[in-house]
Amino acid sequence: MNNKDVIIACDFKSAEETFRFLDLFCNEARKPFLKIGMELFYAEGPAIVREIKRRGHRIFLDLKLHDIPNTVKKAMAVLSRLDVDMCNVHAAGTIEMMRAAVEGLTREDGTRPLLVAVTQLTSTSEERMQRELLIGASINDTIVRYACNTREAGLDGVVCSPLEAGMVHEACGAGFLTVTPGIRFADGDVADQVRVTTPVRAREIGSDFIVVGRPVTAAPDPVAAYRRCVEEFIGVE
């Protein structure tokens, strides 16, 4: 898998909406890498994953598992049969839980999708983290610690703000993946996210994958917005 790409967040409420959006890309040589989140997966179930895979798209299944280790292990064993390309857990679930996730996700032949862990959601500010979650460390120190725990557990990388991608690579190595939501065009609206940046800046900081939702899905011309994002982040159309 190419470890540098733009992932479109398909945050739609139904298969009908999703396929109406994907049909816009039917003539594109480059099949977008897609993120399927909770809303769409809970509405449509595994069938939506199978159909999108049939259409030739890579899939990041963004369900953010966070439970006791045995439950996560069993759930990951189910997800591994869906042939997705990437899935995730919450790093806050501890190293033991993340190791269980790797074990459950790994198939009998030794293969598995990429597995990444969420550090802190991009909607979480340092002030909220400290006041509401009672985490006394700085948000940067917390994210780096979560990333180091994730690496120790044997995962492939983390989900973090693009603003933290550089420090994660510094702590965990260049080959440790950073999947970064919180991407907005320079002339766009940040909406409900706090720690955000542009595709160009994410590339400069060192993000491996950027996840882009509303700047593409809500654009007047989603295909043009996607092409712009690819050009700004990867440098090619």
pLDDT in tens, 43-99: 999 999 999 999 999 999 999 999 999 999 999 999 999 999 999 999 999 999 999
State phi, psi for 186 to the nearest 5 degrees.
-60, -30
Shortest CA distance to 33 belongs to which of 52, 3, 64, 59? 59
DSSP letter assigned to residue 27:
T
For 99-134, write each residue's pLDDT tens digit: 999 999 999 999 999 999 999 887 888 999 999 999
**Catalytic residue among 4, 64, 73, 74, which?**
64
Identity of the residue numbered 230: V
Map out the domains of the chain with their CATH numbers: 5-233 (3.20.20.70)
Quote the pLDDT of residue 195.
Answer: 61
Decide: 197 and 162 in contact? Cβ < 8 Å. yes
Using the predicted structure, report yes or no on whether residue 196 has a pLDDT greater than 90: no
pLDDT mean over 194-206: 85
Using the predicted structure, report yes or no on whether residue 147 has a pLDDT greater than 90: yes
For 8-31, write each residue's pLDDT tens digit: 999 999 999 999 999 999 998 889
Catalytic site includes residue 64:
yes
The proportion of the chain whose per-residue pLDDT surpasses 90, expressed as a percent, equals: 84
